[in-house]
Structure 1
Amino acid sequence: MAHPFHIHPGTKHFKWSRDLPPVLTVLSGAEISFDLHDGGNNQIRLDNAETALSSFDFTQADPGHGTVFIEGADPGDVPRVKFLELETADYGWTAIFPGFGILADEFADQLPALRMWDLRGAAGRGYLESASPSPPFLGTIGIAPAEGGDHPMVPPMLLTGGNLDTRHITRGSALYLPVQVAGALLSVGDGHAAQGDGEVCGTAVETPMRCRLRVTVEKGGGAGAKKSWCTHGPAIVMAPRETLGAVGGDGREFMAVGVDADLHEATRKAVRGVLAWLGAEKGMERAEAYMLASMAGSLKLTEVVDMPNYVVGFGIPLGIFVDQGDHSVRV
């Protein structure tokens, strides 16, 4: 991924701020490559997997890499960030940390938990047909906020993005962000080899990543302009499915349904249903199932208008299982 515009891991920062100095200035239309530390700032690796969680420093988590000043990007404009290449390292990890995840209170006596993933493409190890059941993507893509002062990397922000953790922002897709300060001051990070919608245990398959993207300024995103639909927050144009290389068999899923007057509790019920199915049908321990659900499952708000109850579905694609066949799932 050699490219004239390159950003190396030493450009990390742990805050969003309009006062961060840019490490690179580019014109609209430029392509930029990045070497990125993972969302844990490379604190968890193959060589220290047995001890990494005991010394994990959360102040070093979720680094952004940048910032990039885009010439001609002014408030009211919209940069289009097109993702051209995303290359994972040969390993990744999924962890359950105290206080994180939709079932955090139910896993307090099983923490911390860590799963290392072999991303070299070897199939047949574990319960995955492929090392990547969904395409790689960047969990963090954001620009500087208009408000002064320092802002945390997490949670994401409405107008400027950040730690969006949206798996559809992958190769071939484009993200639009409304500029808040001159130059936009773009930063990226938090590479994921795979993740399901929801990231239910709090992490996905976290991995260092190399990426290449193109930034193009679309002028005048105000009311009535071409991109007025994204001036109030991030927007995504997803890649055609045939370019993604995701697995999933014939598209069938196992989906548990949670129903409750509280959306949070409905979601918890749906996740518990999938964990129970993975234990009963796939023989998986609960923590292992929880991590698989985090990186391969998909939350769906299937019904949110017939008050007082919400209906939430949580699905696992059947095509990710090595032993998948007509005999293994009753339909």
Structure 2
Amino acid sequence: MAQSFHICPNTKHFRWCRDIPPVLTVPSGAEISFDLHDGGNNQIRLDNTKEALSTFDFTQADPGHGPVFIEGAEPGDVLRVDFLELETADYGWTAIFRGFGVLADEFDDKPPALRMWDLRGAAERRYIVFPTTSEHLRGKIRVPFSPFLGTIGVAPAAGGEHPMVPPMPHTGGNIDTRHITCGSSLYLPIQVAGALLSVGDGHAAQGDGEVCGTAVETPMRCRLRVTVEKGESTKSWCADGPAIMTAPRETRPELDVVAKGGREFMALGVDADLREATKKAVRGVLAWLVTEKGMERSEAYMLASVAGSLKLTEVVDMPNYVVGFGIPLGIFVE
């Protein structure tokens, strides 16, 4: 049987650094459970929603829990992280902050926005209800419940301190990739002895791109298995950064919630600049949600962030890229 270990939520740090002392040492193959604060370090809760955004301290955002030293891990090896359990709290939140998100310049003149999600019973239902303030849509938008960790990474080889955001090219970090669900495996190139793994930023749901800057943020309890892999094949396909083996479809029942023939409304953004193409595609979806579904634009932005899907649909006809951004029709209850 695998050895089991536990990490409490007070083992937090707010930068990536190879010199942070490990809070735990485990053998390869060990299972580790974590009690995690959310990506806002639990600054937004059910009991403080009125003042939470005005007092939010960004220096306390995106904490990493750890680091964990894995015995036998050496630079050049690969750390395989298997996701065994991901349990959310009973609530979550999505917010629009000034200066953050793909369309930050279009929302900076508006007050920050916050929506609180009820996550009770979500694991059984397999969906969560978008907390809209629009009466005609209340209870009629169902977002697939698909928990994952936004932050998971190992310490960088470079000395000094590095910010938790943005993600790092070779060591993971705040990668916010919604496909790392239960039953999946993440492969991280090891940069320092012991790997020094840290995790955090629990999400109950997120769209590809997390376009408004937040997902459904939630405190989380998770259980992971860590294994050092020394095979040359693994090293070759992790040479330039992390890789994922996604969970089989039969272990992801939340996908059926938005099936509806797999249909989605997709806007295309075309531009020589990849970020500008992305902005155009996101704007198109927001416009559709506003005009066809009667949503307020800030809520449409948040819904796009937690349920949308970003795709590179064309990258060879230079100088322009084509980015597709879609919203699944299955989230809307008839």
Letter of the structure 2 residue corresponding to residue 100 of structure 1: F
Q: Unpaired runs of 5+ in structure 2?
A: 123-127
Note if contact 1:76-1:220 (Cα within 8 Å) is conserved in structure 2: no
- Equivalent residue in structure 2 for 1:230, among 214, 238, 246: 238
1:71: how far off? 0.3
Letter of the structure 2 residue corresponding to residue 163 of structure 1: N
Q: SS of the counterpart of 1:55?
A: coil
1:276 and 1:190 mapped to 2: Cα distance?
30
- Paired position in structure 2 for 1:312: 323
Note if contact 1:257-1:312 (Cα within 8 Å) is conserved in structure 2: yes
Structure 1 130/33 Cα, relative in aligned 2: closer, same or farther at 3 Å? farther
- Paired position in structure 2 for 1:289: 300
1:108: how far off? 1.5
1:209-265 alpha-carbon deviations (Å, 9 max, x no partner)? 0000100111254xxx44421133111111112212222123211111112222222
TM, length-normalised to structure 1? 0.92
- Paired position in structure 1 for 2:258: 248
2:234 and 2:211 mapped to 1: Cα distance?
36
Letter of the structure 1 residue corresponding to residue 247 of structure 2: A
Letter of the structure 2 residue corresponding to residue 236 of structure 1: I
1:181: how far off? 0.7
- Paired position in structure 2 for 1:280: 291
Shifted more, 101-110 versus 203-212: the winner is 101-110
1:273-315 alpha-carbon deviations (Å, 9 max, x no partner)? 1111111121110000000000100111111111122211110
Structure 1 4/82 Cα, relative in aligned 2: closer, same or farther at 3 Å? closer
1:195: how far off? 0.4
1:65: how far off? 0.2
TM, length-normalised to structure 2? 0.91
2:54 and 2:238 mapped to 1: Cα distance?
42
2:142 and 2:68 mapped to 1: Cα distance?
32
Does 2:105 correspond to 1:97?
Answer: no
1:79-103 alpha-carbon deviations (Å, 9 max, x no partner)? 1000011011111111111111111
Structure 1 261/207 Cα, relative in aligned 2: closer, same or farther at 3 Å? same
Counterparts of residues 157-306 of structure 1 (less than 5 Å): 157-221=168-232, 225-246=233-254, 247-250=257-260, 251-306=262-317
Q: Unpaired runs of 5+ in structure 1?
A: 324-331
- Matched residues, percent identical? 80
1:17-58 alpha-carbon deviations (Å, 9 max, x no partner)? 111111111111111000000000000011101110000000
Q: SS of the counterpart of 2:323?
A: strand
Letter of the structure 1 residue corresponding to residue 40 of structure 2: G
1:145 and 1:71 mapped to 2: Cα distance?
17
RMSD: 1.6
Note if contact 2:142-2:332 (Cα within 8 Å) is conserved in structure 1: no
